[in-house]
Amino acid sequence: MKNKILITGGVGYIGSHTVVELHNANFEVIIVDDLSNSSVSVLKQIEKITGVAPKFYELDVSKYDQLETIFKENQGIDAIIHFAAAKAVGESVDNPLKYYKNNLVSLLNLIECQKKFNVNNMVFSSSCTVYGQPNVLPVTEQTPRQDAESPYGNTKRVGEDMISDSVSAYSQLNAIALRYFNPIGAHESALIGELPIGVPQNLVPFISQTAAGIREKLLVFGDDYDTKDGSAIRDFINVVDLAKAHVVALKRLLDKKNKTSFEIFNLGTGNGYSVLELIKTFEEVTGVKVNYEIAPRRAGDIEKIWADTTFANEELGWKAEKSLQETLLSVWNWQKNITN
Ligand code: NAD
Ligand code: WQD
């Protein structure tokens, strides 16, 4: 029998790619998503790729009574992968309570349901944002977390703590938190990818929309950082590689291979690329010029970060495989598909 996995936020960017990889790995998937940051049309795209329409609940995970119906109607859920969260850093500064409610109440509700319905495994979407600007690079999982720069970042920090305290208190529970670095790229089919609503806040969708002529120009926030070319450095990880890591983490929990009841892994490539390098590589692989100009630093940005991936490589047996070139080409193929 297939293992039954509840995917919160499964219509979203990383969730949709993970649903595809879970299908490829022979899992049965139930998606819950309130479509607050995604389009229902993604479900059709997933069906085109996999040949299967995933079971879907449109509801808000932060509303306990609604959430509970899923567990009542679907006995024997084996694990949860919890993606559902609001993720706009700037918005979280202006509207912190939206973030604490959406991200933390949702997590609390899920853990309550785990206890009540004996769902003992969770994979949680955390973020490299918990490290702030580390003093030493690359960052390992032991690098101390820093005070969050934003309410959004704080929800990831507190979310990790809520899980850590819960697995300690309720001994049947096990969890893995995955700290993503900067996820980019799209599925090779160009049927799913990142679908930002409104003006993109993140670099790569802004690059591809500028290349497609939707945005007039890209602003490069800062060229006076202490880096090789003055622009900021990040660890850009392909979303399909990232999705595959979720399958590996899930199997680890289901096979009881985890060494402690709460494990944390960095998910990155281990390579740092600068903003200007990314633009140049995008131009090289697509042959399309990106109109950009240098602008002042963006408030709250860190200078540089990239992951030490040793623990994920050795302990999970997972490694990011796709090159930056291949990944940026997938972004462009996806952009062309949604623009035309
Ligand atoms: P996304 O916005 O594309 O996906 C999140 C999905 O959750 C959306 O479909 C949204 O409609 C849904 N959702 C939000 N609140 C909900 C609620 N209360 N009930 C039901 N559904 C709800 O975001 P993503 O980029 O796929 O991110 C997935 C997870 O990974 C998030 O937890 C995010 O914080 C985390 N993360 C993302 C990044 C990144 O750069 N994309 C980096 C680190 C961590
Ligand atoms: C990358 C670099 C920008 C847009 C964010 C969240 C983080 C995590 C990942 C969830 C920075 C520069 C950007 C633009 C630019 N998410 N940039 N012009 O800020 O590293 O991380 O997403 O957990 O918490 O903060 O990603 O893509 O926004 O920016 O120059 O129009 O690109 O200044 O140096 P970031 P990003």
Let me know whether 305 and 319 are in one domain.
yes
Is the residue at 75 inside a domain?
yes
Mark whether 292 is an active-site residue. no
Let me know whether 243 and 133 are in one domain.
yes
pLDDT-derived band at 196, boundaries 50, 70, 90: confident
Domain boundary among 267, 289, 313: 267
pLDDT-derived band at 186, boundaries 50, 70, 90: very high
Let me know whether 244 and 295 are in one domain.
no
Let me know whether 8 and 99 are in one domain.
yes
pLDDT of residue 193: 98
Domain count, the chain: 2
Domain that holds residue 224: 203-234+270-335
Which ligand has an atom closest to residue 221 CA?
Answer: 2
Segment 277-333, tens digit of pLDDT: 999 999 999 999 999 999 999 999 999 999 999 999 999 999 999 999 999 999 999
pLDDT-derived band at 1, boundaries 50, 70, 90: confident
pLDDT of residue 290: 98
Question: For the domain that residue 62 is a member of, what is the CATH number?
Answer: 3.40.50.720
* Averaged pLDDT, 54-76: 98
- Choosing from 16, 30, 87 the residue with most ligand 1 atoms within 8 A of its CB, the one to mutate for a pocket test is 87
State the sign of the Cα–Cα–Cα–Cα dihedral 263, 15, 201, 211.
positive
pLDDT of residue 98: 98
Let me know whether 61 and 179 are in one domain.
yes
Closest atom of ligand 2 to 127 CA is 23
Q: What does the alpha-carbon distance between residue 27 and residue 56 come to, in Å, rounded to a whole number?
A: 15
Segment 81-137, tens digit of pLDDT: 999 999 999 999 999 999 999 999 999 999 999 999 999 999 999 999 999 999 999
110: left (phi over 0), alpha (psi -120 to 50) or beta: alpha
pLDDT beyond 90 at 340:
no
**What is the CB neighbour count within 10 angstroms for residue 239?**
25
First to last CA, the chain: 42
Let me know whether 304 and 283 are in one domain.
yes
pLDDT beyond 90 at 339:
no
14 CA to middle of ligand 2, Å? 16
* pTM exceeding 0.85: yes
Is the residue at 217 inside a domain?
yes
Is the residue at 162 inside a domain?
yes
Closest atom of ligand 2 to 180 CA is 23
pLDDT of residue 243: 99
Is the residue at 191 inside a domain?
no
Is the residue at 198 inside a domain?
no
Let me know whether 254 and 287 are in one domain.
no
Atom 10 of ligand 2, nearest CA residue: 127
The helix (run of H) or strand (run of E) holding residue 54 is none
Let me know whether 241 and 315 are in one domain.
no
pLDDT beyond 80 at 142:
yes
Let me know whether 142 and 279 are in one domain.
no
Looking at 13, 57, 131, 152, which residue is catalytic? 152
pLDDT beyond 90 at 49:
yes
Let me know whether 127 and 210 are in one domain.
no
Is the residue at 229 inside a domain?
yes
Is the residue at 193 inside a domain?
no
* Averaged pLDDT, 174-190: 98
Let me know whether 327 and 247 are in one domain.
no
Which ligand has an atom closest to residue 131 CA?
Answer: 2
How many helices, marked H, and strands, marked E, lie in the chain?
A: 12, 13
Which ligand has an atom closest to residue 132 CA?
Answer: 2
Is the residue at 138 inside a domain?
yes
